Structure 1
Amino acid sequence: MVICPLKALMTSSPNKNRLTEAAYQCLPGGPLDVDKGLYDEVAATASVEPSLRTLVESFILPIRSGKAWEVRKGDICRIVAVEGAQVGDLNIWSLYNPRERFWASRTRQLQRAHVSVYDQLWSTLPYLRPLVTITGDSLKNYGVDGSGTDAEGGRVHDLLGTRCDPYVNRMLTGQDNDYHCHSNLTRAVLPYGLTEFDVHDVLNVFQCTGLNDKDQYFMKTCPAKKGDYFEFMAETDILCALSTCPGGDLSKAMWGEGATETTNADPTLECCRPLGVQVYHLPDRWLAKRGWKEALPNGPVYKGRHALKEVSFSTAFKE
């Protein structure tokens, strides 16, 4: 797969302003078009044919903690609000090559700023492939009349922001906090030989955010309720890591106006809840019979070598 060709980017409906349409168009049969029928079948195995799913891993992630786990290609991963509203910060890597990891900003361009069913989470250059496809989202109809947007412009499953971290916390408050999402994810990946430098921009699962009238990022109280879920299918073998955000459901300020000035108080602790993770395997060849294939990197397709040219030493040093 390659990104949309120029002619696709310039395709415009006569009734719309081309300059305000999506820069990366999803055209039928194009590289951004997904087989919705296939992913509908995958989603249906959760309710219509649950016997097709075999549970291969399940755990509860406590508050203010992080954990990493593997998801094999074609397997399904579900994140569940087991006790109520709670934001989770999600990182994803290619299992065998951590240099290939989830690319939040490009996904924001290729898909949208808040993702849901049928959206794919793309990897970094030079790989550029979908790591997962979202197959289930109990909050997909969030907002006014199921539009996806609430009265204040908030949407869920956010790619606008990133993880909270102890460095920004120190800058804003003058205090240290070791349980921000960046730190939780750092601890989570250490058993896999990764470090803080491998932690990257996240998908904020269940988080409700938007831009205000000053074009500034805002975070609202998480709308998830007990039993709400976010589910995706792995398009290749991946390593996932999830943090239960120390802000919990974000109903109370973590810093700035509205946050406590008492060092010993922790106003957000009562807002924190655990998250559940379940990984399911479908019957062997179930996906293959429906035409699914593992997503392959786009890197080998590009042959231009960034306009660099090899020069032989005999030519380079000839007088």
Structure 2
Amino acid sequence: MNLPFAPAIGKDGVRRLNPARQRHVAPGGGLISFELKPGDRAHILDPEGGQPGLLFLAPTGAGTSCDLPEELKGLASAPGDALPEPARAFLGTDGPGLVLFTEGTAPGAHLHFTATTPLRCVLLAPGGPMDPGAQDAPTDLIVEIEPAAPSSGTVPPPLTEPKLDLRIRAASASAYEVKAGDYIQIIDVDGQQCSDFLAFDAAKLRSGREKGLDPTTTRTLMGSASPGPGLHSKYFDEDQTALVEVIRDTVGRHDTFMLACNAKYYDDMGYPGHDNCTDNFNRALEPYGIAPKMGWPAVNFFYNTFVSPGDRIGMDEPWSRPGDYVLLRALTDLVCASSSCADDIDASNAWHPTDIHVRVYDGANSFSRGIAHRMTPDSAPRLTRETGFHARTSALTRKLVDYRGFWLPDCFSSAGPIAEYWACRERAVVMDLSALRKFEILGPDAERLVQLAVTRDIRKLAVGQVVYTALCYEHGGMLDDGTVFRLAENNFRLVCGDDYCGVWLRELAAEHGFNVHVKSSTDQLHNLALQGPKSRDILRDILTTPAHQPSADELKWFRFTIGKVTTKTGADIPVMVSRTGYTGELGFEIWCHPSRGVELWDALMEAGAPHGLEPLGLLALDMVRIEAGLAFAGYEFCDQTDPFEAGIGFTVPESKQDDFIGKEALARRRAHPSRKLVGLAFESNEPVGHGDPIYNGRAQIGVITSATRSPTLGHIIALARLDVSLAEAGGSIEIGKLDGHAKRITASIVPFPHYDPAKSRVRA
């Protein structure tokens, strides 16, 4: 689709995003508010199609009129009572709006308009909760604002009423005080602008001790190069006192190991006397009695530096976009300083320093924690969200990690990963897998699209059946793996790991002229995996299905059923249940709307208590899936590996006659394989892990894809990708440590799966 959202390719052949554009998302079933200045051009897109849109406009400022942009005249009116109260308060009016899109709108439909007067705007993407057996998920509408001026200097609305609203002009710095518990928001106003941050313990300053943020102490205590939202979120001084913690981060890429720019850097580059952050900090901190430095160790927010090959420090343009921010919380009374980096002689500020904005909010407020994710480089950022089961899982552990944009537990405080592992193998476990991406594929050409997109023969898939498949690029490398559910003749659901699959499917449909909609339903369908030998006994007690749907006892492997889970109070939760899993054990996945997540969790835990049901986290899940030989994205496969090299060649049947993406390349790769996935077994307890090189003598012949210590087998096992000439079972290879040669760990090549290779347990 040739849309205004696409990156531009310049005369120099470099493909660049437009960093001046601001992108906002009205989530399906929700709304977004934004403001426009005269001359600002708004682009509104329905990327998935079929999503109604309602736009409400009001003038900014009392006594001003709302001149309807020419491009919007003639659109049907939307009723004013469709506007929720918070949006009505923002607009200051409850007047009628405009209907932009309808349920019949094609994917990629868009409209544009230019504001002639200052406007407040609200865009709604109306829709209700989706039943697990339905496919009517409301989807996102996107707004992209192209400012009239190249640099608008407009910051996003405050998160709440600020105590301090401080603009730091380009190439300057300011100091400010923050009370313990208050929040500090550092905002990149126009995008691609670095901001150094300093913080000092105010009480220690008053006693004559200057103790500021110390990167070495921070990295040592946090075990990471850059603290982020979650468990390892704090920055410390050299006394090991925590000064601030990161609550939100919409960029996620910063430098925390180099000095703020200083006079020596510019002198050495041939620019003596150039403005620099260190001198600006020295002037800003002088009133607090803080001694000047030749170079300040700082947290360099938005500064894109990295360790490049050859152990050199490299840097490029920042990743930050207009309005991106980091939200910190003060853990003690602080004296802080922030800069807008003055560097205009290289790419660190995209060659053009701009403003930074700082806001301080009262500690009585509460803000969710999150890291921003972008589905594609030009997508709007979306903070880590909570699943429908988060209220229960977060009460059982603090060890939550950001997994594909959701907070999921690594393990639970009551037991730990080893005990969770044994619960899965011997009794039953329940785990939150809601981070899986779901896409509803429906329409007359739904089967044609899925048949083209996946390696399996979808024409053989019956209604009520599920199939595991690969999705490949034309060259045969894998985009993703996933499961396809057939809900009806022309209705499918794809469950996979990557948001981009939805974009890719819509592009395929447009390219081939298919009459089909691909609608994202991830936020409408969350799921728990109930796994283990006792799982059927637990499910039997609470699942009721209609007469025409299989019961828990009747449900066969890779089939699904529609029904209801009955709670202790007698309430019924609509669910879809599939006989699928990621553990190598008998198991089910239970799918519900996230609004019913807590009820479903409670019903399962109550029914499972007599059977020893335990919650299971990601660490234990990794153990059982490696034992079962199950592939994981970024480990067993990527866009440089094909399904055969990932150990899932069975997903590419030779009998499939219809064309599909990558068919020709995969036929060539099947006939001439170069690498093979194998199992490894170790006698040594020396740790090995993903990415470790494998050698035959001096030559590297492969790489470890996944490894774990198997509690059942009593030794370390691994999955590895080897050159086919040396991949036969019974052979011996060596894992290279240190430089690959100074330390070697011997392993034997064995068949995989390591656990239950006949899959008798999962088929039980």
The bucket for the TM-score relative to the shorter chain is 0.5 to 0.7
Is 1:222–1:249's contact at 8 Å kept on the other side of the alignment?
no
- Specify the alignment match of 2:461 in structure 1: none
Q: TM-score, normalised by structure 2?
A: 0.25
- Specify the alignment match of 2:289 in structure 1: 193
- Specify the alignment match of 1:61 in structure 2: 168
Q: Which amino acid aligns with 2:228?
A: S
Trace 1:185-264 onto structure 2 (pairs within 5 A).
185-197=281-293, 200-247=296-343, 251=347
> What is the alpha-carbon distance in structure 2 between the residues aligned to residue 248 and residue 214 of structure 1?
26
Instruction: Tell me the secondary structure at the aligned position of residue 162 of structure 1.
Output: coil
Q: Which amino acid aligns with 1:129?
A: T
Instruction: Tell me the secondary structure at the aligned position of residue 101 of structure 1.
Output: coil
| Mapped pair 1:88 → 2:195 | yes
Q: CA deviation at 1:114?
A: 2.6
Cα 1:139–1:279, aligned 2, differ >3 Å: closer, same or farther? same
Is 2:249–2:325's contact at 8 Å kept on the other side of the alignment?
yes
Q: CA deviation at 1:79?
A: 0.4
Is 1:91–1:199's contact at 8 Å kept on the other side of the alignment?
no
Cα 1:284–1:205, aligned 2, differ >3 Å: closer, same or farther? closer
Is 2:315–2:348's contact at 8 Å kept on the other side of the alignment?
no
Q: Which amino acid aligns with 1:106?
A: T
Larger Rg: 2
Instruction: Tell me the secondary structure at the aligned position of residue 157 of structure 1.
Output: coil
Q: Which amino acid aligns with 1:160?
A: F
**More relative contact order, 1 or 2 (CA 8 Å, 6+ apart):** 1
- Specify the alignment match of 1:149 in structure 2: none
- Specify the alignment match of 1:183 in structure 2: 279
Cα 1:240–1:213, aligned 2, differ >3 Å: closer, same or farther? same
Is 1:87–1:249's contact at 8 Å kept on the other side of the alignment?
no
Instruction: Tell me the secondary structure at the aligned position of residue 239 of structure 1.
Output: strand
Q: Which amino acid aligns with 1:157?
A: H
> What is the alpha-carbon distance in structure 1 between the residues aligned to residue 184 and residue 304 of structure 2?
21
Instruction: Tell me the secondary structure at the aligned position of residue 266 of structure 2.
Output: helix
- Specify the alignment match of 1:276 in structure 2: 357
CA deviation vs aligned residue, 1:121-146 (integer Å, no higher than 9, x gap): 0011xx31110010011123xxxxxx
Q: CA deviation at 1:60?
A: 0.8
- Specify the alignment match of 1:133 in structure 2: 245
Instruction: Tell me the secondary structure at the aligned position of residue 343 of structure 2.
Output: coil
Instruction: Tell me the secondary structure at the aligned position of residue 211 of structure 2.
Output: strand
Cα 1:285–1:100, aligned 2, differ >3 Å: closer, same or farther? same
Is 1:81–1:275's contact at 8 Å kept on the other side of the alignment?
yes
- Specify the alignment match of 2:182 in structure 1: 75
Is 2:302–2:318's contact at 8 Å kept on the other side of the alignment?
yes
Q: Which amino acid aligns with 1:241?
A: A
- Specify the alignment match of 2:214 in structure 1: 103
Q: Which amino acid aligns with 2:353?
A: C
Q: TM-score, normalised by structure 1?
A: 0.58
Trace 1:147-166 onto structure 2 (pairs within 5 A).
156-166=253-263
CA deviation vs aligned residue, 1:255-310 (integer Å, no higher than 9, x gap): xxxxxxxxxxxx93xx1110000000033999xxxxxxxxxxxxxxxxxxxxxxxx
> What is the alpha-carbon distance in structure 2 between the residues aligned to residue 213 and residue 219 of structure 1?
12
Q: CA deviation at 1:242?
A: 1.1
Q: CA deviation at 1:167?
A: 2.2
> What is the alpha-carbon distance in structure 2 between the residues aligned to residue 189 and residue 248 of structure 1?
24
Instruction: Tell me the secondary structure at the aligned position of residue 247 of structure 1.
Output: coil
Cα 1:201–1:221, aligned 2, differ >3 Å: closer, same or farther? same
Q: CA deviation at 1:115?
A: 3.0
Q: CA deviation at 1:181?
A: 1.1
Is 1:77–1:279's contact at 8 Å kept on the other side of the alignment?
yes
Q: CA deviation at 1:180?
A: 0.9
> What is the alpha-carbon distance in structure 2 between the residues aligned to residue 115 and residue 95 of structure 1?
22
Q: CA deviation at 1:56?
A: 0.7
Instruction: Tell me the secondary structure at the aligned position of residue 196 of structure 1.
Output: coil
Cα 1:52–1:215, aligned 2, differ >3 Å: closer, same or farther? closer
- Specify the alignment match of 2:637 in structure 1: none
Q: CA deviation at 1:110?
A: 2.2
Q: Which amino acid aligns with 2:216?
A: S
Q: Which amino acid aligns with 1:116?
A: G
Q: Which amino acid aligns with 2:215?
A: A
Q: CA deviation at 1:157?
A: 1.8
- Specify the alignment match of 1:303 in structure 2: none
Is 1:136–1:230's contact at 8 Å kept on the other side of the alignment?
yes
Is 1:95–1:238's contact at 8 Å kept on the other side of the alignment?
yes
Give the paired residue count.
204
More strand by share: 2
Q: CA deviation at 1:182?
A: 0.7
Q: CA deviation at 1:198?
A: 9.5
Is 1:52–1:282's contact at 8 Å kept on the other side of the alignment?
no
Q: CA deviation at 1:184?
A: 1.2
> What is the alpha-carbon distance in structure 1 between the residues aligned to residue 257 and residue 235 of structure 2?
14
CA deviation vs aligned residue, 1:101-132 (integer Å, no higher than 9, x gap): 111112122222233213110011xx311100
Q: CA deviation at 1:57?
A: 0.4
Q: Which amino acid aligns with 1:239?
A: V
What root-mean-square deviation, in Å, do the aligned CA atoms of Structure 1 and Structure 2 show?
2.8
Cα 1:284–1:161, aligned 2, differ >3 Å: closer, same or farther? closer
Is 1:86–1:222's contact at 8 Å kept on the other side of the alignment?
yes
Q: CA deviation at 1:174?
A: 4.5
Cα 1:173–1:158, aligned 2, differ >3 Å: closer, same or farther? closer
> What is the alpha-carbon distance in structure 2 between the residues aligned to residue 249 and residue 229 of structure 1?
24
Instruction: Tell me the secondary structure at the aligned position of residue 60 of structure 1.
Output: strand
Give the unaligned 5+ runs of structure 1: 1-49, 141-155, 254-266, 287-319
Is 1:89–1:245's contact at 8 Å kept on the other side of the alignment?
yes
Give the unaligned 5+ runs of structure 2: 1-156, 368-764
> What is the alpha-carbon distance in structure 2 between the residues aligned to residue 86 and residue 274 of structure 1?
8
2:234 equivalent among 108, 120, 130: 120
Is 1:120–1:134's contact at 8 Å kept on the other side of the alignment?
yes
Quote the sequence identity (%): 24
> What is the alpha-carbon distance in structure 2 between the residues aligned to residue 232 and residue 249 of structure 1?
30
> What is the alpha-carbon distance in structure 2 between the residues aligned to residue 175 and residue 136 of structure 1?
36
